[in-house]
Amino acid sequence: MSELAPYLDAVAKTIDQMIDRYFVNTTGELNKAAAHLLAAGGKRLRPAVVMLSADAVKPGISDEILQAALALELTHTFTLIHDDIMDDDELRRGVQTVHTKWDMPTGILAGDVLYARAFEYICMTKVKEEAKTRAVTMLARACADICAGQHMDMSFERRNDVDEYEYLEMVKKKTGVLYAAAAGIGGILAGGNAQQVKTLYNFGLNTGIAFQIQDDLIDLLTPASKSGKDRASDLREGKQTLIMIKAREKGLDLTKYRRELSDAEIDMAVKELTDAGVIDEVKKIAAELVADSNKHLAILRPSKERALLMEIGEFFVTRSY
């Protein structure tokens, strides 16, 4: 039986306890808004990547860098709050989005609070100051790339000629770099050498791209009751995902779906894409990214943590929510 599921459950429980301690029982509307999505749950995958990467370099050190694991969850949640504002989404993790529960200015500021606190928490880790500096630098660069990726994503909405290369470059920045930072920061704080950190960073980058491709599939294929998100929002908004790009290459016209859609109409779109081979082709690209990344982890010593890192990559492209 795989050890990944119980490991992820244990990490999620630990991070949830930290969120309860540091964020949930706070006063003031802004603090409540900042804690809203954090308290709504989540798979806590980025913290798990931080901890696994650290322990793959130096077994047992993850207990000393739990604040860094939390920092990656704070960063991720900050991006979600701001994404929801830009996409005008109303549902996230099965609850109201922050800007709809409060208002847009509060949503913006709530995201900013989490962004700032992430760097604070990395600095709380019990490691050498030089490692903290490198970790903070890596996270700062990732945040700048995330902003660039989000801007690219939004600019694509005004175009119908985005190609696969452009899409992958956007996803690398929007999603891949935060998983890359999670893995790289884990390696840095564990005292990893340059080769180990680079390998972990690249592992996180490629699996992060694959994660986003799978997320695009989940947006289309998984009911809102399971995903906690508005189903087929990408399809309705005409977002240039890999699904859309591959559909266009095959001569499919998806512009007819750029409107409010019933579940039956979404199912019709899914059938059209499946029959044309688009869904399988997109899944294959994601799976190949993970397989390639896992090969590079061979430079790390054999360990339970290395095996779980490889397994988490496979999980990224097989999950349904």
Q: Across-strand partners of 92?
A: 95
pLDDT greater than 60 at residue 1: no
User: Quick one: 4-316 is in which CATH superfamily?
Assistant: Farnesyl Diphosphate Synthase (1.10.600.10)
What pLDDT does residue 233 have? 86
Can you spell out the DSSP letters for 56-83?
HHSTTGGGGGHHHHHHHHHHHHHHHHHH
What pLDDT does residue 223 have? 84
Q: What is the dihedral of CA 9, 15, 20, 26, to 10 degrees?
A: -150
Neighbours of 11 (CB within 10 A): 24
266 or 158, greater pLDDT: 266
- What does pTM read for this prediction? 0.93
CA distances from 139 to 120, 121, 247 (A): 12, 12, 35
Express each pLDDT in 32-80 by its tens digit: 999 999 999 899 999 999 999 999 999 999 999 999 999 999 999 999 9
Q: Where are the domains of the chain?
A: 4-316
Can you spell out the DSSP letters for 224-267?
HHHHSS-TTHHHHHT---HHHHHHHHTT---GGG-S---HHHHH
